[in-house]
Structure 1
Amino acid sequence: MEATLEQPKTALKNRSIRRVAVLGSGIMGSRIAAHFANIGLEVLLLDIVPQQLTPAEEAKGLTLDKPAVRNRLVNDAWQNTLKATPAALYSSKFAERVKLGNFDDNLKDIGTYDWIIEAIVERLDIKRSLYERVEQFRKEGTLITSNTSGIPMHLLAEGRSDDFRRHFCGTHFFNPPRYLRLLEIIPGPDTDSAVIDFLMKYGDLYLGKTTVLCKDTPGFIANRLGIQSLVQTIRVAEDLGLTVEEVDKLTGPVVGRPKSGTFRLSDVVGLDTTVNVANNLVKMEHDESRESFQLTASMQKLMENKWLGDKTGQGYYKKTKDENGQTVILALDLKTYEYKPSQKVKFATLESTKAIENLRKRFPVLLAGQDKAGEFYRRTFADGFRYATNRIPEISDELYRIDAAITTGFGWQLGLFETWDAIGVRKGVELIESQGQKPAQWVYDMLDAGFESFYKVEGGKRLYYDIQTKNYKPVPGAEEFIILENIRGDDPSNNVVWKNAGVHLYDLGDGILNVEFRSKMNTFGLEVMKGINKAISIAEKDFRGLVIGNDSTEAFSAGANLGTLFMLAVEQEFDEINLMIAQFQQVIRRIRYSSIPVVVAPHTLTLGGGCEAVLHADRVVAHAETYMGLVEVGVGLIPAGGGTKEMAARASDLYQTGDPELNILQNIYMNIATAKVSTSAQEARDMNYLRAGDQIVLNRSRLLAEAKQAVIELADNGYVQPKPRTDIKVQGKTGIALFKAGITAMRMGRYISEHDMKIADKLAYVICGGDLSAPQMVSEQYLLNLEREAFLSLSGEKKTLERIQSLLAGGKPVRN
C-alpha cells in the first residue's frame, strides 16, 4: 500500500509513506510495527544488541557476534507479539512485511525509510542518545516521531539539527495500537505545521485513528485526564470502603466503559506503568489538583510488594487453581491486602438502571442513588467534571478534543463533557458545588450567556461550545463522516423516512437511503425483516440505492432473534417455523435481487443472519475490526438464511482457480461446522466471507460515508439487477462421503458429541447439494430448500432446544 496525501506546503506535497522504521521492539514498538504491516507497509523493527549470552546460547556454542544473538531481543519481542491475544495483526501472513534487526548493524538502513518512529524506554537521556545516532543516517525531510507517553517534545528535540526539529513531533499511540483508536499528535516548538497537517490526516485515513492535536503539556490529553480519573477512583473507593469487585462493576459497561473496570484495567496495563505516569504528573506545579495524582494507600502497598498486575501474576486480582484444578479468580481485600474469592456485586442503584438501555438516560439515575454506589458516582463524576474544565486552555483550547482523546484512548463511550450534557450542565454544576468544589469560571459564563449544553446538533451537524468565541462551532472534520446520531439530532424520530420497532430508515442525501437496525444487539426479528423489505421497496421507488449500516459499538448484528424460534419450537409449531425461515430467506435474497444497488457495512460482531446479509450484498464496505461468521452450529442449527447456499456458490466459483475442488469446499465447510468467527475483516476475506472487490475501511467513523460512496459508484456505473443463479456446482455423494469420514473420525475421537455429529451431517448434506449421484449444477432455490429442510428438522431436536435455551438464559450455549 502506498499512502500519498496532498499537502498545501511545497515541502510536503505528494509525501508518500511506503516504508516505516520502528526503533524499539517492546510491547508498544512491536505492536506499532504490526499495525503498519496491517495497512500494507514495509516495516523495519530494530532494538539493542544484547551484552551477554543466555545459558541456552552458551550451550549451543554461540558467540555475541552471531546474528541470532545480536537480534535476540527483537526476535523474541516479535515472536511474543505474534502470539499475543488479542492478535496484533489482521492476518498472520502480514508478518512477512516486518524486517527485524538491531541498532548496531541496521540503523544505517533507516536512510531509505519514509518515517522513523522511536518507541524505546521512557528516559530522556536514552532517547536523546538514540536521536544523535539517528541523525547520522536519517535522510533530510524524513519524518521522525516519538511514541513517548509524556516526555515534552521541546526537551526531546534539544540539540538536534534544524531539519530534524522541523520534521519531529510526538505520535502517541495507545496500547494495543490495533484496537485503541486514539493517536495523539504533539507538535514541538519548531515542528513544521505541514508535518502536523500530514500526520493528522494520515492517522485518520490510513491508520484508522481518531487523531487528536495536543499541546506539549505533561501527559498530553488522554493520560492527563485518564490517569487522574483512575487514581481518584481508587482513592474514593478506599475512602468509601468499596471492594475491588464493586468498583469494577460500577466503572464498567453500566457507565459506558470497558468491562474490565478500574482495577482490572490497572492489572492489564501494569500498575507500574500507571504509577510512572502519575509520579511525573504529580510534579506539575501549575496544576491546582496535582495532589490528585499522589498514590493511594493500595497503590503504594502493591508497588512495595511488586504486585503489578498480570505481568507479575497478581495485582488487584490473582488467578489461581482450586483443588479440582479449576481456575479461580481472587480479589484483593483493600483493608487486609489478602486475596479472597471474587464476589458478585449488587447495588440498589445498579438494579434501578437495568431497564434503561440508553446510556445517557442512565447517568441521572446513577447519580441520584441513595446507597454507596450513588455516593461513589457523585464524588468521582463531580471531581472529573471539575478537573476537565480547569484543563482548558492549558492542555486544549477546545473541549471536544478532550472528549475525543478520553473516549478513543480509554474506550469510554462518552467523554466527560458528553456525560455532563447527559445530566444537564446546570445539574452538573450543582453536583460539583455539592462536593464543596467549583468548575472553571468559563462554565458559569457559558450558562449566564444562555448556553445550556456543551454540544448540540443542528442540521445534521454536531456543534461544540467554543470558549474563545463564546458560541457554538462545528466539530472539525465531522463533515467527512456520516453519524446517524447527528442525523437524528435530539429527537430519534427526526429525519426518519420510515420506521418500526426494529429499524429506522434515513435519507443520507444524494439519493441514498440507510437502514439502521434498532433491536437489541441488532438481531434479526420479524420487525427487522419487515423493515429491510420496506427499505428496499422505498429505495426502488424513490432512491438510487441502499446502505444497510449502523453506529452500534457492540454489533452490526448478532444474528437471528432466537427467542421467537425457541417459543415456536417448544410449541412444535413447525409450519410457523417453516414460514419464518422462508420469509427470512426471501428478505436476504431481496438484498441481492433488488433493482437498486445494496451495500452492507458490517463492523464488530457480524454473526449468523448478520453475516448472511453481508454475503448477499452487491458490495460490502467492512470495518477492519469485523468479527464475522456463520455460527448457527453452536446452537444446534445450520445457516438457513442463504448462508450455506452462498458459501456453496462461492466454493463453486473458486473451483475455477484450479485448486482441488473438495479442498476448497472442505475449508468452507469446516468454517461453518466449527462456527469459526474471523478475528478481522482481512481474515473474513481469507475465509471467503468477503470477496476481493469488497472494501475494508480502517477508520470506523468513515464506514457509513464510504458505504454511501460505494452505492453511488454502483448506481453511476449503470447498476443492473442480477438474476438468480442456476450454475452452482455441488459435489453430491462424493463430498458427503468425504465429510462423513471426517465427522465419524471426530466422533470416535470424542472431539464432538453425537448431536454435533448429527448437525455436521445435515450441513454436509446441504452444502454438497444433497444425495446426488455425481457432481452437477444446481440452482440457488434448490439449495435454499435444502437449507430450510435441514434447519426445520434440527429445530425439533431436544438437544438443539437445550442449546438455544442455554444461550438465551446465560449468553452461552451448552455443549451436549
Structure 2
Amino acid sequence: MAIERAAVIGAGLMGSGIAAQIANAGVPVLLLDIVPKDGADRSAIAKGAIDKLLKADPAPLMSKSAAKLITPGNIEDDLDKLKDVDWIVEAVIEKLDVKQSLYRKLEPFRKKDSVVSSNTSTIPLQTLIKDEPESLQRDFVITHFFNPPRYMRLLEVLGGAKTRPEALAAVSDFGDRRLGKAIIAAKDTPGFVANRIGVFWMQAAVNAALDLGLTVEEADAIMGRPIGAPKTGIFGLLDLVGLDLQPHVDKSMREALKPDDAYQTVRRDFPLMETMIKEGYTGRKGKGGFYRLQRNGAEKVKESIDLKTGDYHVSDRARLESADAAKGGLKVLVTHKDKGGHYAWAVLSKLLRYAASLVPEISGDIANVDLAMRTGFNWKRGPFEMIDQLGAAWFAEKLAAEKLAVPPLLKLAAEKGGFYKTENGQLQYLGTDGAYHPLKRAEGVLLLADIKRASKPILKNGSASLWDIGDGVACLEFHSKMNAIDPDTLDLVKKSVAHVGKSMKALVVHNEGDNFSVGANIGLALFAANIAMWPMIEDLIGQGQATYKAVKFAPFPVIGAPSGMALGGGCEILLHCASVQAHAETYMGLVEVGVGLIPGWGGCKELLLRNQPGPKDPKGPMPPVAAAFETISLAKVAKSAAEAKELKLLRASDGITMNRDRLLFDAKARALQMLAEGYKPPEPKELRLPGPTGVTALHLAVDGFRLQGRALPHDVTVSAALADVLSGGATDFTTVVTEDQVQKLEKKAFMALLRTGPTLARMEHMLTTGKPLRN
C-alpha cells in the first residue's frame, strides 16, 4: 500500500512537528486536536500550532510553503475527512484511557486498510490495543518519533501479533524514503531501544556527577564530545529535553521494568531537580534549568547551578585534562587519573554493560542498537562501537577485576575479538549465535564508507580522494578539516575531471562528513596576505575559477550531492555542477561578505546566471543583478534544500533526497539518467548588465542601510565591490558581457578587498572566535 495522505491527531509540540515533517515530504496532512473550551474557533488549537511552526527556530518546516499542505481541524467536526487518509498518527497525551477513547472515536470514520499508529514511548502496544476490535488491531502499529521530528533521524517502528505485515512495511518504507528516517524495528519492550539505553545513561551520569562531586560544567565537558555525544553533555541535555519530563519517564520505566533490571538499581530520587521543577526551572522552556541566561544590562550572562547548594553562579569553562586527553580515544579517557577520567569510567562501565545485557531482549542485533543511539541521541558511536573502541577483551577484564558481572554477549565479543570486523571489504557484526553476519544495506542505500572498506582510491592527496562507485561513475570526496577547500582540494578536482573524462562516464561530488564543505581555507589566505604573498593568492583564485569552469563544461555530467553546510567555495562548486541531488538538510550560501570578501570562484557569475529572466519575466538588466546582490550581500544561507531552491542556489530541476543514507545512490542514478538522455555540456552564456547605472542604484540601497545603522563602514566597502562585479564593471545594457569577463571582475574585486585592513581583521576574528566581526 502507498501512503499519499496522512493525518496527525494531537497538535502539541510533537504532533505538530510530525505533521510538519510529513508536509516537508510533500504529502498533504490533516492536523486535528480537541475543540477549545471557549469554542470561538473550533479548530483554534490546530491553527495555532501551524502558526507556531511558521515562527519556530530551529524551523520544523523546510520551507514556509510546506505549511500549505497542513490542514487544521478538530476531532468533533472533521473526522469524516479521515476517509481519504492512508495513515493516521496519534500523538496525544500519554494516558491510556485518552488514547483508547480516541481510537474508538476514529474507527467508524477511517478508510479501510488505513494504518493507525501511536507515537507513544511509554505504553506497550499490547496494552494500547487490548480489547480493541480486530479491524484496528490488524492496522495498528507504533511509530515512535524523536523530538524535534525534522532533525532527529530515528523512527522506532513495531507491530503487534495481529498487525498486517503490509501495514508495518508501508509505514516503515514511508518513514525511510519520504520522511528521511533511520528505521529501527523495535520490540514491544519498555522504552523500546533508544530510550531504554538513553534514560539509563542520563540517570547513571547524574548519579556519578553527584557522587564524585563534579560541577555541571565538568560533567558536561566529559559526557559530551569526549565520549562522542553532543556538546550539551548530560545536564545541558536535561535542560533541552525539559526537567519536568524526567519524573514521568522515570515512573513509566520503574513501573514497566522487572525488579531485577539494572535500571531499578541505578535510578534514584534527585531532590534538587524536584525543587527546580516546582519553582519553574524546567530547562530551556522554563526560567532556566541547570543552566540559565541572566541579563546584565545589554549583555546575557550564562549561569549554572551548584549541585550541592542549588545556588546559581556565573558559568565557568571546565578545565579537565581528561577532556583534552580524550582525543586519544575512549580508553585514554576512562583510564585518565583525574576526576573526569573517573567520572567517564563510572558512567560508561555501567552504560555499556547494561547495553550488552539487553540484546536480544530489545533488538535482534547489535547493529540496530548502535544505529538507534547514533540517530536518536546523536552519538558518534553506539554502545557496541564504543566497546570495540575500548577493546572488548580489555573492557570485560576490567569489569571482572572490579567484580562486576560481565554479560554473556560481552564475554562472547571478548573471545571473538570484538563486536564488529571487516571481512573481504564487508562490515560484519557479531550475532547472539556467536557468528559474524554481514551488515546488509537496504535497497537504494549506497554508502561511501562501504566503498572505502572494499577498495582503494583511484586518486588521493591530503584533502580529497576519488573513488570508483560502479557503473563507470566516480565519487570525489573532500576530507580536509571541515572539508575546507585548499589548493590540494582544487588540484584533485582538476585531476578527477581529467581522469573521468578519459576513463569513466560521470562524476559525483559527495562526502559523508558532518558538512559538505565550509568553504575556502581562509586561514591559508590570511597567512599569505599577512606576509604579502599576493601572487600566490591571485594564483589560487585563478586556479579555483579554472577548476570550477572545468567542472561546469566537462563533457560528462558532474553531480553535486551535498549534505549539511555548503558554504562559500563549497557552495560555488555546487553552482557549477551539471545537476545537484541534495540531502534535504543542506544549508547553502555564499557567505564571503562575513569575512570582508566576495565570492571569487565564480559564485557571483553563477548566481547572476541563475537569476536571468525567463521569456515571461520582466525585461531589463536590474532584476537579476538586484536579486543576486541581495543574496550575496546579506550572506543568505538556505536552511534546507527547499529554501536553496527559493534562493536559486539550487535549480528547480535539482533533486532532493530526504534520507541521507540514500543520497549517494540517488546522485549516481541521476548521473546515469543524464547519460542515458544523451548528456551534452552547457554552452557559455552571455549577459547584458547595467554597468555604472546599476552600481549607482545598488549604492543608494546600501546607503539607506548605512543611515539606518544596519550597514557598517566596511559593509559599504564590500557592497560597493560586489555591486561593481554584478553590474558588469564599465559596461552598459547594449554590450555583451561574457562569463569569463565577470570572473575577471570577481578576481580583481577579491584581491582589492583582501588588501584592506578591515577585511584582514574580519578573517582573523572569524578564525579566532568562529563568529563574524562587525566593523
Q: Indicate the TM-score class for this superposition, using the shorter chain for normalisation.
A: over 0.9
Looking at structure 1, the residues matched to 19 and 285 of structure 2 have their Cα atoms a distance apart, in angstroms, of 22
Residue aligning to 2:761: 802
Q: In the alignment, residue 25 of structure 1 is paired with which amino acid?
A: A
Match of 1:485 in 2: 449
Q: 2:329 aligns with which of 337, 359, 362?
A: 362
For the residue of structure 1 that corresponds to 2:71, the secondary structure is strand
Shift in Å, 1:523: 0.4
- The one-letter code sitting in structure 1 at the alignment partner of 2:365 is E
3-state SS, counterpart of residue 180 of structure 2: coil
Matched, 1:601 2:538: no
| TM-score (norm. length: structure 2) | 0.97
Match of 2:67 in 1: 95
Following superposition, the deviation at residue 307 of structure 1 comes to 2.3
Are 1:573 and 2:573 counterparts?
A: no
Residues 775, 46 of structure 1: CA spacing in aligned structure 2 closer, same or farther, 3 A cutoff? farther
Distance 2:363 2:346 in 1: 24
Stretch of structure 1 that moved more, 30-39 or 704-713: 704-713
Change (3 A) 1:814 1:655: farther
Amino acid at match of 1:795: L
What letter matches 2:448 in structure 1? L
The amino acid of 2:662's aligned partner reads: R
2:516 corresponds in structure 1 to 556
Contact 1:387 1:439 in 2 (8 A): no
Task: State the SS of the aligned residue for 1:692.
Answer: coil
Secondary structure at the aligned position of 1:50 is classed as coil
Aligned-partner SS, 2:76: helix
Partner of 2:463: 502
1:651-666 paired onto structure 2 within 5 Å: 651-654=611-614, 657-658=617-618, 662-666=622-626
The 1-side partners of 2:154 and 2:226 are apart by 22
1:196, distance to aligned residue in structure 2 (A) = 1.5
SS at match of 2:666: helix
Report what 2:8 is aligned to: 22
Secondary structure of the structure 2 residue equivalent to 1:170: strand
Please state whether the residue corresponding to 1:310 is helix, strand or coil. coil
Match of 1:476 among 432, 440, 444: 440
Q: Does 2:322 align with 1:318?
A: no
* Contact 2:3 2:87 survives alignment (8 Å): yes
Q: TM-score, normalised by structure 1?
A: 0.92
1:136 is paired with a residue of what secondary structure? coil
The answer to whether the Cα contact below 8 Å between 1:496 and 1:504 also exists between their aligned partners in 2 is yes
- CA shift at 1:434, angstroms? 4.4
Q: 1:405: how far off?
A: 1.0
Query: How far apart in 1 are the matches of 2:400 and 2:613?
Result: 68
SS at match of 1:311: coil
Mapping of 1:133-282 within 5 angstroms? 133-282=105-254
2:282 matched to 1:308? yes
Say whether the 8 Å CA contact 2:3–2:170 is kept in structure 1: no
**Alignment partners' CA distance in 2, 1:27 and 1:761:** 45
2:417 corresponding residue in structure 1: 452
Tell me, what secondary structure is at the counterpart of 1:392?
coil
CA–CA distance in structure 1, aligned partners of residues 419 and 106 of structure 2: 45
Give the aligned partner of residue 96 of structure 2: 124
Matched residue, 2:35: 49
Asked if structure 2 preserves the Cα contact closer than 8 Å seen for 1:275 and 1:295, the reply is no
Q: Mapping of 1:533-682 within 5 angstroms? A: 533-553=494-514, 555-654=515-614, 657-658=617-618, 662-682=622-642
- Say which SS state the counterpart of residue 657 (structure 1) adopts: coil
Tell me if structure 1 keeps the 8 A contact 2:689–2:732: no
Matched, 1:779 2:738: yes
- 1:417 offset after TM fit, Å? 0.5
Deviation at 1:478, TM superposition (A): 4.8
Letter in 2 for 1:464: Y
Q: Deviations over 1:587-615 (max 9, x none)?
A: 11111122222111111110000000000
Q: Offset of 1:804 from its aligned partner?
A: 0.4
Give how far 1:164 is off: 0.9
For structure 1, which segment, 201-210 or 439-448, has the greater mean C-alpha deviation from structure 2 after superposition? 439-448
CA contact under 8 A between 1:117 and 1:147: conserved in structure 2?
A: yes
1:521 aligns with 2:492: no
Residue 764 (str. 1) matches residue 764 (str. 2): no
Match of 1:462 in 2: 427
Q: Distance in 2 between matches of 1:314 and 1:419?
A: 32
- In the alignment of these two chains, the number of paired residues is 773
1:506-544 deviations in whole A, cap 9, x for unaligned?
Answer: 111111111111110000111111111111122112211
Amino acid at match of 2:36: P
For residue 745 of structure 1, what is the aligned residue in structure 2?
Answer: 704
Please give the alpha-carbon distance, in whole angstroms, between the structure 1 residues aligned to 2:228 and 2:550.
36
Does 2:640 align with 1:692? Answer: no
Cα deviation per residue 1:198-250 (whole Å; 9 max; x = unaligned)?
A: 22222111110001000111111111111110111111111111111111221
CA–CA distance in structure 2, aligned partners of residues 635 and 46 of structure 1 = 47
Q: CA deviation at 1:664?
A: 4.0
Counterpart for residue 11 of structure 1: none
* CA distance in 1: counterparts of 2:123 and 2:605, whole angstroms: 57
Range 23-32 or range 298-307, more displaced: 298-307
| Alpha-carbon shift at residue 662 of structure 1 (Å) | 2.9
Q: Would you say the 8 A contact 2:413–2:419 is kept in 1?
A: no
In structure 2, relative to structure 1, the CA distance for the partners of 1:622 and 1:151 (3 Å cut) is same
Counterpart CA distance in 2 for 1:91 and 1:431 is 51
Root mean square deviation, CA, Å: 1.7
SS in 2 for 1:261: coil
Q: 1:338 pairs with 311, 322, 325, which one?
A: 311
Superposed counterparts of 1:370-381, under 5 Å: 370-381=337-348
> 1:441 pairs with 382, 386, 408, which one?
408
Query: Hey, what's the Cα distance between the residues in 2 that align with 1:666 and 1:121?
Result: 50
- Conserved? CA contact 1:28–1:119, under 8 Å: yes
Q: Which stretch of the first structure deviates more once superposed, 418-427 or 649-658?
A: 649-658
Residue in structure 2 matching 1:39, options 18, 25, 50: 25
For residue 403 of structure 1, what is the aligned residue in structure 2?
Answer: 370
Offset at 1:34?
Answer: 0.6
Which amino acid is 1:463 matched to? Q
Cα deviation, 1:554-609, whole Å, max 9, x if unaligned, reads: x1000000112112212222222211110111111111122222111111110000
Q: Distance in 1 between matches of 2:221 and 2:746?
A: 43
Q: Which residue number corresponds to residue 749 of structure 2?
A: 790
Tell me, which stretches of 5 or more residues in structure 2 are unaligned?
none
| Residues 442-483 of structure 1: CA deviation (Å, up to 9, x unaligned) | 3223443xx212122334432211113x21112233564222
SS in 2 for 1:327: strand
Deviation beyond 6 Å, 4+ runs, structure 1:
none
Residues 10-61 of structure 1: CA deviation (Å, up to 9, x unaligned): xxxxx2222111100000000111111111111111111122x3xxxxxxxx
Equivalent residues of 1:649, 1:729 under 8 A apart: no
The whole-number CA distance in structure 1 between the counterparts of 2:522 and 2:502 is 33
CA 1:615/1:434 → structure 2, altered by over 3 Å: closer, same or farther?
farther
Task: Provide the C-alpha distance between the structure 1 equivalents of 2:705 and 2:130, rounded to a whole number of angstroms.
Answer: 65
Number of the residue aligned with 1:3: none
**2:111 is the counterpart of 1:111:** no
Q: Which residue of 2 aligns with 1:5?
A: none
Alignment partners' CA distance in 2, 1:475 and 1:663: 53
The question of 1:348 aligning with 2:313 is answered no
CA distance in 1, matches of 2:309, 2:444: 54
Give the letter for the 2:43 counterpart: N
Q: Which residue does the alignment assign to 1:289?
A: 262
Q: CA deviation at 1:661?
A: 5.3
CA contact (8 A) 2:621 2:688 kept: no
- Structure-2 separation of matches of 1:452 and 1:209: 32
Query: Counterpart of 2:91 in structure 1: which amino acid?
Result: A
| Per-residue Cα deviation, 1:631-686 (whole angstroms, up to 9, x for no partner) | 00010000010000111111225475347753343232111001111110000010
**Residue type matched to 1:366 in 2?**
L
Residues 237 and 290 (structure 1 numbering): CA distance in 2 closer, same or farther, change over 3 Å? Answer: same
How far is 1:97 from its partner?
1.0
User: Are the structure 2 counterparts of residues 104 and 787 from structure 1 closer, same or farther at C-alpha, using a change threshold of 3 Å?
Assistant: same
SS of the residue 1:95 aligns to: helix
